[in-house]
């Protein structure tokens, strides 16, 4: 008996116009039935959000009252983290201890935005008119269309839903059709928290019927997207229909630069966490290891040993350290890129194939490839899987050139004990995030986003709330004198 999930539109849980089966990546078998929203379903969701935006039940709330609703939602997320984590693991294959930890931390994002709700301020402007008082108001931008991928979806939706609601917007958020269970279940927490109907709508469906309709709808004022660059280009074209303000958080091919003055054991732990956590299915995965020649052999020896020791298994088992890939398509893509990389001269130091004993599950071994240069396919292409490509450098100048020789620019890591070198690299690296002697650290207070093909705009941090507002200039004439006749010259 397959579990059935529903869309959440205008405060009501309902089936989609169609449905599809969702596959458990650990077994390769269907485990749930998901709603597929049609264009008509999307239209109803957006119109519900549009009505709610102006309805007194939402529009007349004070900023502090909006914040209290977000605080309640945060508490519910924290309380229900085990249940949400179990669903995310079943639908995406991410290991249970990672989903539980991450979802528990998502509650802190909602608390952060709850606290910002009544911190959105306008400004008094010292205009050059003696008889005028001028000030700026910040008002919510309107209906938001949010789209998130399957990986880390409750986190990626929190950095859209949280600031949107704190600012007073309403939102329709589309969960990926590949693993939407936790976000559809999260809708029940929104309902329980007491948000008025239509303020938050959560749906899933496919690109042509659901995604296109959502991002081109005339009532949408703001689009917040996380996903791949190709889909982002479609969204940008769609937004020409409504001229919606758009932010895009896209892919990455993040370099990790390791110099020969490091603590090898410490760096090895950071690199393993950066590429093999979440089975490498993270937009900030440190998939390009650029290592200075003097430390290369010692570091690779440690990394190969750690990769071989990773415990692959059932993602619902607390002992498992790496689970399956999320989709069969992703598995096929990685097999293809690794094969092309070997043909281009890469050497497999460990992994490079599917492990035995997992039946039809979408598992892939932790893989390390030693690459002769940065032209090898695995070095240049985003794999979104547990594959680390290693390139050797000799000088700092060479390392910077290698790090920047990609169309992406989301994240980067630098490992060195030389503080002056670290500061030079921080300035030189063309990436939206630079981690120094650490990797994959996140916080609600810190914005993130990329350069180049890794996106437009930033999410997270205080300023992200302002991205869900627009300014209104207000002029007040303070003189009691009659306004001059415009046709009488003096």
- The residues that are catalytic are 249
- Parallel, antiparallel, or unpaired: how do β-strands 245-249 and 455-456 relate? antiparallel
Residue carrying the six token digits 């950095």? 159
Cβ atoms < 10 Å from Cβ of 146: 24
Nearest to 370 by CA among 285, 278, 291: 291
- Phi first, then psi: what are they for 433, rounded to 5°? -130, 135
Number of Cβ within 10 Å of residue 432's Cβ equals: 21
């Amino acid at each position: 008996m397959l579990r059935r999930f529903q869309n959440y539109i205008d405060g009501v849980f309902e089936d989609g116009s169609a449905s599809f089966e969702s596959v458990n990546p650990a077994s390769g078998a269907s485990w749930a039935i998901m709603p597929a929203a049609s264009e008509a379903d999307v239209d109803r969701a957006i119109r519900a959000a549009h009505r709610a935006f102006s309805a007194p039940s939402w529009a007349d709330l004070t900023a502090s009252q909006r914040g209290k609703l977000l605080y309640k939602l945060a508490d519910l997320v924290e309380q229900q983290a085990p249940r949400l984590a179990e669903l995310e693991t079943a639908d995406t294959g991410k290991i249970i201890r990672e989903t539980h930890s991450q979802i528990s931390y998502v509650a802190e994002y909602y608390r952060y935005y709850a606290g910002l709700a009544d911190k959105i301020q306008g400004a008094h402007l010292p205009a050059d008119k003696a008889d005028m008082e001028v000030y700026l108001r910040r008002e919510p931008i309107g209906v938001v269309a949010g789209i998130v991928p399957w990986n880390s979806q409750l986190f990626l939706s929190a950095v859209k839903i949280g600031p949107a609601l704190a600012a007073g917007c309403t939102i329709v958020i589309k969960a990926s059709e590949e693993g939407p269970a936790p976000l559809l279940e999260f809708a029940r927490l929104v309902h329980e928290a007491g948000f008025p109907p239509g303020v938050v709508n959560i749906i899933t469906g496919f690109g042509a019927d659901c995604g296109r309709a959502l991002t081109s709808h005339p009532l949408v004022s703001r689009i917040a997207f996380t996903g791949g660059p190709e889909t982002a280009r479609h969204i940008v074209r769609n937004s020409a229909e409504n001229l919606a303000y758009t932010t895009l958080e896209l892919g990455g091919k993040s370099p990790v630069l390791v110099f020969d003055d490091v603590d090898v054991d410490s760096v090895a732990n950071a690199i393993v966490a950066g590429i093999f956590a979440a089975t490498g299915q993270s937009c900030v995965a440190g998939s390009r290891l650029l290592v200075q020649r003097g430390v290369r052999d010692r570091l690779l020896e440690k990394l190969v040993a750690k990769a071989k020791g990773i415990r692959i298994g059932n993602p619902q088992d607390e002992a498992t350290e790496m689970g399956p890939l999320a989709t069969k398509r992703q598995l096929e893509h990685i097999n293809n890129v690794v094969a092309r990389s070997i043909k281009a001269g890469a050497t497999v130091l460990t992994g490079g194939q599917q492990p035995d004993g997992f039946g039809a599950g979408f598992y892939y071994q932790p893989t390390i490839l030693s690459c002769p240069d940065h032209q090898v396919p695995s070095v240049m292409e985003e794999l979104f899987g547990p594959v680390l490509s290693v390139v050797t450098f000799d000088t700092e100048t060479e390392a910077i050139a290698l790090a920047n020789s990609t169309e992406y620019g989301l994240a980067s890591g630098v490992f060195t004990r030389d503080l002056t070198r670290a500061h030079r690299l921080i300035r030189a690296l063309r990436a939206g995030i630079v981690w120094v002697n650490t990797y994959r650290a996140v916080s609600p207070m810190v914005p993130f986003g990329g350069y180049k093909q890794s996106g437009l705009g930033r999410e997270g941090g205080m300023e992200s709330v302002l991205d869900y507002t627009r300014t209104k200039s207000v002029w007040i004439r303070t003189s009691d004198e009659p306004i001059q006749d415009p046709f009488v010259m003096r």
